[in-house]
Structure 1
């Protein structure tokens, strides 16, 4: 199996997923928290838009936003233009948290990619980006 790129990608993705889960859990966070907070740095967004932009299923968006709201990292309010929608805004506390999560994400990348040189890391990202674009188009 080790000669099959699909097997190698699957095994590596599982390892990466474990690292993300474990390392974010150490600071009481989940990967979804970072994925939802980071785009809010550029401004408020609807829950549906956040789901589309992050690739997180809507029910998972709602659950993660409930956690982030309870922790004081985001605020949700009805959209004045369409009261059926909620607009999510990052708080000052959320901005501090997203910086902490970004640092943790960078450390996770360093741990995951430790066997690779800086140039190899850049090449891996380039190749994975091509594969992802091909999968999205196909």
Structure 2
């Protein structure tokens, strides 16, 4: 008979959580070389994709509490990686844009994250990596309420 703990440790939800924690830790270690955290990387990437973007909209898109976002933006602006300027559409709001240094940091962070993920997935063959990513994407999309890919 399997113990209750052994049973829990074989549940896919438990395994995914443990594996995700390890993956996040590897990427976090890699980004630390840039003096950045995972959330900083996400803010840079979202600013690159949506910018110039209103600060409040950036927080909504990333699901980051406005108070937490201010701290992240202060750090990134202090490091010269982004700018907050009055939004031309509504001067009561701040528009967030990447600086050239921010674009360069985002490129370096993306490379660091790719390297960390390659190490993370190193026990798998390339085909297994693709399959794992496809399966996790399907679960994520279904859990998020979007239509699964076929």
TM-score higher than 0.5: yes
| 2:11 equivalent to 1:14 | no
The answer on 1:128 being equivalent to 2:133 is no
Supply the distance in 2 between the matched residues of 1:3 and 1:103 (Cα, whole angstroms): 33
Give how far 1:28 is off. Answer: 1.0
> For the residues of structure 2 that align with 1:56 and 1:19, how far apart are their CA atoms?
22
**Contact 2:9/2:15 (<8 A) preserved:** yes
| 1:86 maps onto 2:84 in alignment | no
Shift of residue 104 of structure 1?
Answer: 0.5
TM-score, structure 1 length as denominator? 0.89
Alpha-carbon shift at residue 129 of structure 1 (Å) = 1.0
Structure 1 partner of 2:32: 25
SS in 2 for 1:119: helix
Equivalence for 1:113:
121
Q: Structure 2 residue aligned with 1:50, among 58, 61, 79? A: 58
Does the 8 Å CA contact 2:55/2:93 hold for their aligned counterparts?
yes
Structure label with greater radius of gyration: 2
Moved more, 15-24 or 54-63: 54-63
**Gapped runs of 5+ residues in structure 2?**
1-7
**Number of equivalenced pairs:** 138
Contact 2:87 2:95 in 1 (8 A): yes
RMSD over aligned CA atoms reads 1.7
**Stretches of 4+ moved more than 4 A in 1?**
none
Distance in 1, Cα, partners of 2:95 & 2:77: 12
- What residue in structure 2 maps to residue 102 of structure 1? 110
Structure 1: gaps of 5 or more residues: none
